Amino acid sequence: MIAQEPTLKNRPEFINVRIKRQNGPGQEPYWELHKIKYEPEMNVISVLQRIAAQATTVDGKHVTPVTWDCGCLEEVCGACTMVVNGRVRQSCSALVDRLLSDNPDEIVLEPMSKFPVIRDLMVDRERLFRGLQRVKGWVPVDSYYDMGPGERQLRDTQEQNYPLSQCMSCGCCLEACPQFLKIEVPRKEGETDEQYEARKYAEYDKGFVGANAISQVMLFNNHPTGKALAKERLDALTGPGGIAACGNAQNCVAVCPKEIPLTTSIARAGRATTVHAIKKWFER
């Protein structure tokens, strides 16, 4: 498909952008309409940059610039996830021409709904990284000294692992998942950083760990040294918030911007945890 026909006649002069804003955690969200000049080859990030520079709504009211999170703008860092026209995705690769051809009237931007809003379009995804800690998503090497090369690996193994290791922790799969529900832990007066973190992690750990973390379990359990922790990872998936919480809605795989075979990972994890549970039962 060629979106940028130089002969295209119906380019709008202005674009309407409707943004769901929220001044801080626990505050009421509100909608704001911005109007910016159309330029060719815009994406949602450049739209937000124009809005920040102009900081005025469609009715001429001076407002604070919209807050959002972004990084590489090449769809590889995972920072700029938001809900664009009702669909969760990376905003850097959300091209205005395509969005306008779906809905010529306006572009609607909302923060992800499954994570606590920090401000406007920026959310707190710490729970996502906690999930990686929960499943011990790493290779437990002895040391960082030079001990020679790792174990030789078949090309097949590399080709199975490579897609899984492209997960950029963007959170699209979690936003789309009906079983992954928002957990917001407001800070209490007088709580130290450590106390707050411990309480927050305890709450997070009760919730569904999500497709991305399950897929990482499969990645590391398939690594020659990584599999040393296979049992512990499967334990983590057997408990509450583990693999049993997956309702097999398959939304995750549909929204993954990296097209990671998440449902395949979930199915493999399902079998592995079952075998693991039976083995454990016999070992009792």
What minimum distance in Å lies between the beta carbon of 105 and other proteins? Answer: 20
Tokens of 109: 């931007």
Binding mask 246-265 for other proteins (x = CB under 8 A): --------------------
70 counts as binding other proteins under rule CB under 8 A: yes
Please give the size of the binding site for other proteins, defined by CB under 8 A: 75
Check if the beta carbon of residue 15 is closer than 8 Å to that of residue 96: yes
What is d(CA 93, CA 81) in angstroms, rounded to the nearest whole number?
A: 10
List the interface residues with other proteins, window 79-98 (CB under 8 A): 79, 92-93, 95, 97-98
Site string for other proteins, 149-168 (x = CB under 8 A): xx-xxxx-xx--xx--xx-x
What whole-number distance in Å separates Cα of residue 83 and Cα of residue 107?
11
Closest distance of CB 16 from other proteins, Å = 18
Q: Which is nearer to other proteins, 4 or 10 (CB)?
A: 4
Q: What is the dihedral of CA 185, 188, 194, 195, to 10 degrees?
A: -90
- Would residue 72 be called left, alpha or beta, if left means φ above 0 and alpha means ψ between -120 and 50 degrees? alpha
Is residue 215 part of the contact set for other proteins (CB under 8 A)?
Answer: no
Q: How many CB atoms lie within 10 A of CB 100?
A: 21
Which of 16, 18, 38, 45 forms a contact with other proteins (CB under 8 A)?
45
> Which residue type is seen at 195?
Q
Residue 228 interacting with other proteins (CB under 8 A): no
- The residue within the footprint of other proteins, chosen from 57, 58, 76, 228 (CB under 8 A), is 76
CB closer to other proteins, 188 vs 284: 188
Nearest residue to 264 via CA among 198, 219, 200: 219
